[in-house]
Structure formats: C-alpha cells, structure tokens
Amino acid sequence: MNLRDLSIGTKLILAITVVMVGVSTAGSIIIYTYQKRSLDEQILERSRTISELLIQIEDHKLISRVAAEFTKVTGYRLKQTSLEPVNPANAPDDFERKIMEMFKQKNITEYYAVVASSGGKRHFRYMRALRTKEQCISCHPGYSIGELRGSISVVAPYEDIAAAARKNLVYILATLQILTFSIIAVLYSLSRKIVSKPLKELIKEVEGSAKEIQRGEEVKDISVRSNDEIGMLASAFNNLRKSLSESFKRKNEAIESFVYSISHDLKAPLRSIEGFSTALLEDYGDRLEGEAKHYLDRVIASAQKMGVLIDELLEYSRIGRIDLARGDVNIAEVVALALEDSIYEINKKNAKIKISENLPVIKNAEKQRIYQIFTNLISNALKYNDKEVPEIEIGYRDEGDHYLFYVRDNGIGFDMRYHDKIFEIFQRLHREDEYGGTGVGLAMVKKIVETYGGRIWAESKPGEGSTFYFTLPKEVKSG
C-alpha cells in the first residue's frame, strides 16, 4: 500500500499516532527513570541516616537494639563488620570484604551499589567506613586516628522496589496509551468532521459541476460553507470556473467573428467570379466559340458550389456553438417543412412518403437544427434512390427518456463496411457526377444529434435501401 493513496484524515491520524505513541513512550520511560532514581535516593538516604546514627551511639548494646528495631521497621538488615572480627557473627561476606579493602586503601567514607546475591535476588547495599576518632583513643589506646576499624553494612531489599517501579511503569504506559488513543479517536472524528467530510462534499460538488459542464448544462456555483481553507478552495473553484467560462465565451465569440468574416471574405470574390462570368456569358455569349461557353458554365457552377460549401461549413461550425432559438419543436411540423423543401424532387421522382401519425414534440430544442436533421435525411433518401417509385418512411418509437426516430428508404443503400465513413465530413461514397453533394450533410446531422446527447446510426444493404436511426431526448438540456 502506498502512503499517497491514503486519505488526508488517515494520514493525519497516522502521523498523530506515531507522534503520540512516541511521546507517551518516551514520557513513560522518563517518569520511570525519575521515579526509580528517587526510590534509590530514598534507600540511600535511609541507609546513610541509620549508619550515621549508629556511629554516634557509643553504647554497643544500644547499637544492637537500635539496629534490631530498624530492621523490624524497614526490613533493612544492619550489620557491623570488620576485616578482623572479634565476634565471628561480624565476619564480612565477599562484598563487604572487598569494599573494606577499598576503604582501607582510599580515604572514602561510604559506598553503595545494587548487587545481585547468589540467590539471584538483588539488594541495595550500603557500606559506611568506621574509622578511629579522637574519642576512641581514650578507650582503645593503640589505635591511630583515621585507621579503618570496620564498617556498617546495610542490606536493603531491592527486588520489591524494582518490581514496584516496573509495575508503575506499566501503569503509566497504559494510562498514557489509553490517553493517546482517546485523543486520536477524538481527533479522528474531528478530522472527519472538519476536514474529510467537507472535503468529500466539495469533491462531490466539483465532480457534479464537471459533469454539468460536460453535458453543457448551466452550472451553479459550488456552495461555500465555511471561511476556512476548504471554503476558500470552493470559492477558488467557482472563480476558476467563471473565468474559464468567460474565456471560453470570449474565444467562442472570437471564433464566431473569425468564421463569419472568413466566410464573408471568401464568398465576396466568389460573387465577383460568378457575377463577371455571368456578365461575360450574357453579354458576349453569342461571340464565344466552341467550348468557351461550356467553360464559363463550369466556372459559374464551381463558384456556386464553393459558395454552398462555405455556407455548409459555416453552418457545421456553428452547431453546438451558437445557440439558436429554443422551444417546443413539433416534429410533424418540421417533417412537413423538410418535405416541402424536397417537393420538386418528390414530384419529379413520383416518390411515396409515409409518415407515422402523432409524431412527438421535443422540448427545449432548436427548430432550425431539428429541421436540418430531417431535411438532410429526407433529401438523401430521395437523392440516393433510382427506384421507379421511391418510398420513404418516417417514424418514431418512444423509448422512455428519449425518442428513436428513423428515416427509411428503398434506395441504392450502401455497404455496411462504410457505415462510419458516411458520417464523416467530406466523405462520400459516390463520384460527384453520379450523385452530387458536398459531403457535409450527414456529418452535420450527426453533429446535431450528438450535441443533443443522442446517437445516430444506419442499417443498409446495397440495392435494398437504408434506414437511418437517431435518438433525441424528450427534453433537450440547455447548452
């Protein structure tokens, strides 16, 4: 798993967990060490005090009693020992002997250490050197001042204290970790509330408006719910979208004026070519010999065709870019208009037209565009038809949120291999002298249908006619 794939909340919690666990562990260890040291100091202080006290007592019997009493109260064993003991009970053990040797060599008063005994148990051991003092000389002549007489040895149980400290450590650790995890839990729910949830909502809204933009719908501002960074992000997104849409609008206007002036500037010379060729033909036609007249006709025809081509390209470039008047479009009315357009062809070819009854109404559509769909498909159905009686059938089917329309003919059809090609701009399946045209019609139909969120396709067999299908939503989304 990659750290980058985690959500911000999880990352935060992970970081906080690591820091908190580290801090609480370090804290526990520090507290433990401090506690242990103060316990050690306490034992040392006790040992030192009792030793000091014993030294001050001159009555030997009293010493034994005080020691016994102290042992009873504290559990510390007290012992007087010497390198040359008079009483065998006072004979030193290995540790005591070693320390006393040291006392003898160096002028130190006390020594302490934690020592493990043969049984494996640890003891705090304290040794206090007993040296000859001035007042001793009176009773023990022959001693010299400062000479080591022996030691007071204190053996304090240490195991219990260490165990207590360890137990303490466990308590501290447990308390701190519980605290840590409850803080993390609180932070987690807070981070969800403060960071994750608003961020997720923001992401959802942004994705929603991305979809609206993609579908060409009107985009509402994203709600700014707070004045923090997330709120700022939402406003920043709104500003970004606004400036993008403004720049898109400006670009679109620039394209439109460019396309318009291009088409105008391209067509103005065409008017002259056609005009002067016509003038030449009209004024000097009878003086032109051989092919000359025919050539002039070709010039005029080409100029006219280029004019049509420029118009169609201009129109093609405007689909989906320039919003025409919208409203309820009655398909029956549009089909009638489109047939009116082809009335000359229909009469000439003696074509039979069959139209479904109750053709529906498309809401919020551009009548001009819907008309362009039908007029192109109908004129194609007539054009690519060499039957004695061309038949054209126009119908539809209700498919829930959209209608499926079809324009069927009994014309020359086409090989389904070329299915995608016929919808491409400037792609034609026939030579121009067979069937005239610019190759823009079906591309334009496809672009309109797709701009409205529909689909278009055809089914055909050479010689058996074609059916063009397309879908249109019952209500077109505003763009």
Partner 1 sequence: MNMVRAIDILLVEDSQDDIELTLRAFKKNNLGNRVHIARDGAEALEFLKRVERREIPHPGLILLDLKLPKVDGIEVLKYIKSKEILKRIPVVMLTTSKNDRDIKTCYDLGANSYIVKPISFKDFMETVKNIQLYWIVTNQPPVVG
Distance CA 394, CA 337 (A): 13
Least distance in angstroms from the C-beta of 432 to partner 1: 20
At 363, the amino acid letter reads: K
Give the footprint of partner 1 on this chain (CB under 8 A): 260, 264, 267-272, 274-276, 278-279, 303-304, 307
Q: DSSP string covering 119-179, please?
A: TS-EEEEEEEEEE--HHHHHHSTT--TT-EEEEEEEEEE-HHHHHHHHHHHHHHHHHHHHH
Least distance in angstroms from the C-beta of 314 to partner 1: 10
Distance CA 479, CA 477 (A): 6
At 89, the amino acid letter reads: A
Give the tokens for residue 292. Answer: 């000359």
**Contact criterion met (CB below 8 Å) for 367 and 337:** no
Our CB check for partner 1 shows the closer of 172 and 440 to be 440
Least distance in angstroms from the C-beta of 297 to partner 1: 14
Least distance in angstroms from the C-beta of 293 to partner 1: 18
Our CB check for partner 1 shows the closer of 303 and 443 to be 303
**Contact criterion met (CB below 8 Å) for 110 and 52:** no
Our CB check for partner 1 shows the closer of 46 and 267 to be 267
Our CB check for partner 1 shows the closer of 173 and 266 to be 266
Q: DSSP string covering 167-224, please?
A: HHHHHHHHHHHHHHHHHHHHHHHHHIIIIIHHHHHHHHHHHHHHHHHHHTPPPPPPP-
Give the relative orientation of helices 229-284 and 197-215 as an angle to the nearest 10 degrees.
10
Our CB check for partner 1 shows the closer of 231 and 307 to be 307
Least distance in angstroms from the C-beta of 266 to partner 1: 9
Our CB check for partner 1 shows the closer of 199 and 262 to be 262
Task: Say whether 320 sits in a helix, a strand or coil.
Answer: coil
The contacts of residue 276 (CB under 8 Å, 6+ apart) are none
- Burial of 24-40, coded b for 16+ CB within 10 Å and e otherwise, reads beeebeeebeebbeebb
Our CB check for partner 1 shows the closer of 275 and 327 to be 275
Least distance in angstroms from the C-beta of 264 to partner 1: 5
The contacts of residue 455 (CB under 8 Å, 6+ apart) are 449, 470, 471
> CA angle 474-477-479, nearest 5°?
145
Distance CA 360, CA 404 (A): 11
Our CB check for partner 1 shows the closer of 267 and 293 to be 267
Our CB check for partner 1 shows the closer of 226 and 304 to be 304
**Contact criterion met (CB below 8 Å) for 466 and 446:** no
Q: DSSP string covering 237-306, please?
A: HHHHHHHHHHHHHHHHHHHHHHHHHHHHHHHHHHHHHHHHHHHHHHHHGGG--TTHHHHHHHHHHHHHHH
Least distance in angstroms from the C-beta of 456 to partner 1: 30
Least distance in angstroms from the C-beta of 255 to partner 1: 16
**Contact criterion met (CB below 8 Å) for 150 and 132:** no
Our CB check for partner 1 shows the closer of 274 and 409 to be 274
**Contact criterion met (CB below 8 Å) for 25 and 107:** no
Least distance in angstroms from the C-beta of 459 to partner 1: 37
Our CB check for partner 1 shows the closer of 31 and 280 to be 280
Neighbours of 154 (CB within 10 A): 29
Distance CA 152, CA 103 (A): 12
Our CB check for partner 1 shows the closer of 166 and 271 to be 271
The β-bridge relationship of strands 361-366 and 122-131 is unpaired
Least distance in angstroms from the C-beta of 309 to partner 1: 12
Least distance in angstroms from the C-beta of 476 to partner 1: 25
Least distance in angstroms from the C-beta of 307 to partner 1: 6
